[in-house]
C-alpha cells in the first residue's frame, strides 16, 4: 500500500507545530531520507486565537482553518493533523469543508488512554481554558467511563493559562523553568484530588511537562497525535 502524504495544519502555536513535526520524524523507523514520510506543513500563526473565539472575545478561526485545510488538500495531502487541541472545537464544521480526513486529537488521546492505561479511571486535565470550557475531553472520556479532574478557577488562570499565555509563558518566550514550575504545581493539585494520570491537553504543555516530572504518568497529546499520523500514513488501523 503506498504511503499517504501527511498534512499539518499548524501555527497554533508555531513551536508546538515544530515539536509535532519533530516527533513524527523521530518516531519514524528510517535509515535513509527516503524512508521518511512526505509532510506538507502550513504553519499559519495568523489564525485567530481559539480560546478567545470560544469565549466570544475574538474572531472565529474557522474561515482561516478552512483556508489552510483546503490548501493542504490542494497541494496533495491525503489527510490532516492539527497540533492544537482547542482548534478541535471547530472540528466538525472544518471536516465538512474538506474531502480528506482530519485526525481527531481528542479521540486519539482517549483511545490511547483506554488501550495503554487500563487502570486509569481519573485523569487530570492541564489545558487551555477554551478546551476546558468546551468539555471536549470531559465528554469523550465520560463515554469511556473515565472521570476528568479539572483545576479550580484560580489554578486554571494563575498557573495553567499563565504558563501558556503569560508574559513569560510558552507562547511568548518558549519553554522556561518558570512555566514548567507553574504547570507542575497545577498538576500536583489534580493529583492530590485523585488524578491517576495527567493529560497534557494543550499542545504547548508537552513542551514543558514530560513523563517522569510527576509521580503519575503524563499523557503527551503531541506524541499521541504523531503516532496516529504515522499509522495513518502507513495505512494501518
Residue with cell 499517504: 4
104, 90 contact by CB (below 8 A): no
CA distances from 2 to 7, 59, 101 (A): 16, 40, 17
Helices 105-116, 136-143: axis angle to 10 degrees equals 40
| Catalytic annotation, residues | 84, 202
Cα torsion at 127, 90, 7, 41 (round to 10°)?
A: -70
Are 109 and 221 contacting, i.e. CB atoms less than 8 angstroms apart? yes
Amino acid at each position: 500500500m503506498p504511503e499517504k502524504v501527511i498534512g499539518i495544519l499548524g501555527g497554533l502555536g508555531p513551536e508546538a507545530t515544530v515539536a509535532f513535526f519533530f516527533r513524527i520524524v523521530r518516531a519514524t523507523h528510517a535509515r535513509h531520507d527516503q524512508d521518511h514520510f512526505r509532510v506538507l506543513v502550513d504553519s499559519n500563526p495568523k489564525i485567530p486565537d481559539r480560546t478567545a473565539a470560544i469565549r466570544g472575545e475574538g474572531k472565529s478561526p474557522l474561515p482561516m482553518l478552512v483556508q489552510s485545510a483546503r490548501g493542504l488538500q490542494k497541494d496533495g495531502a491525503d489527510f490532516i493533523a492539527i497540533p492544537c487541541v482547542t482548534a478541535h472545537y471547530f472540528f466538525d464544521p472544518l471536516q465538512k469543508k474538506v474531502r480528506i480526513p482530519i485526525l481527531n486529537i481528542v479521540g486519539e488521546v482517549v483511545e490511547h488512554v483506554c488501550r495503554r492505561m487500563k487502570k486509569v479511571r481519573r485523569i487530570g486535565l492541564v489545558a487551555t481554558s477554551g478546551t476546558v470550557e468546551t468539555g471536549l475531553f470531559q465528554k469523550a472520556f465520560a463515554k469511556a467511563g473515565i472521570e476528568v479532574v479539572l483545576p479550580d478557577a484560580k489554578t486554571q488562570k494563575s498557573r495553567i493559562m499563565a504558563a501558556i499565555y503569560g508574559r513569560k509563558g510558552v507562547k511568548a518566550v518558549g519553554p522556561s523553568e518558570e512555566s514548567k514550575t507553574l504547570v507542575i504545581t497545577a498538576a500536583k493539585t489534580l493529583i492530590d484530588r485523585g488524578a491517576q494520570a495527567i493529560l497534557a491537553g494543550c499542545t504547548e504543555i508537552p513542551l514543558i511537562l514530560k513523563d517522569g516530572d510527576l509521580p503519575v504518568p503524563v499523557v503527551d497529546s503531541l506524541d499521541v497525535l504523531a503516532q496516529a499520523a504515522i499509522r495513518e500514513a502507513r495505512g494501518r488501523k
